[in-house]
Amino acid sequence: MDMAVEQDLSRVATRLSSDYFFRALGLISSLHGGDITAAIIWQAIVTANTAHLDAGDYRGSEASPPDDLRRPVSVLSLSQSLGMPFETTRRYVNRMIAAGRCERVRGGVVVPASVLNDERTQAARLENLGYLRRLGREMLRAGIIKPGC
């Protein structure tokens, strides 16, 4: 493909993906009283807890993967992966534990299925699905992805 066309597509892709990113970040932060840092740390915990699982295994299931399949993540690992100071990460995690948004278990912290399956989080997941579908439609319309990809 021509370099000029690639540059044009990259600019459009950046704009569309940025729009999605900020919508999703706003959605996740709404689950944490508008606190973007808490939202990012919480999402990092969720991701780390289930990174080893194949998401397709739970397709069609109304429930999130069960707690016994979640792998705890240490606060140190979180702080390093996010590039945040350990003490800042620890304070945020402790606040989330106190608020019932995650739990401390042997080996670190987990976001239990009960939190992921609560009404607010389920509604946020459905709203995010709409955002992703919108992103997909816009990327198709812009020619960034082709039908059937």
Q: Are residues 22 and 42 in the same domain?
A: no
Same domain, 89 and 51: yes
110 and 126 fall within a common domain: no
Domain check: are 93 and 59 in the same one?
yes
pTM for the structure as a whole:
0.86
- Which of 132, 147, 146 has the alpha carbon at shortest distance from 1? 146
Confidence of residue 113 (pLDDT cuts 50, 70, 90): very high
Number of domains in the chain: 2
Same domain, 40 and 102: yes
pLDDT for res 90: 98
The H or E element spanning position 102 is none
Q: Say if residue 47 is in the same domain as residue 71.
A: yes
Of the two residues 53 and 59, the one the predictor is more confident about is 53
For residue 64 the two structure tokens come to 């999130």
CB 62 within 8 A of CB 48: no
| pLDDT band per the 50, 70, 90 thresholds, residue 13 | very high
For residues 82 and 112, state if they share a domain. yes
Indicate whether 83 and 95 sit together in one domain: yes
Do 145 and 91 belong together in one domain? Answer: no
Q: Are residues 108 and 129 in the same domain?
A: no
Domain carrying residue 63: 36-117
Cβ-based neighbour number of residue 41 at 10 Å: 27
Q: What is the pLDDT of residue 6?
A: 87
Count Cβ atoms within 10 A of the Cβ of residue 101 and give its class: 0-12 exposed, 13-18 middle, 19 or more buried.
Answer: buried
Identify whether residues 17 and 65 lie together within a single domain: no
Q: Is the pLDDT of residue 32 over 90?
A: yes
Same domain, 48 and 101: yes
Q: How far apart are the first and last CA of the chain?
A: 17
CA 145 vs CA 12, 14, 120, 148: distances in Å: 12, 13, 32, 9
What is the reported pLDDT for 63? 67
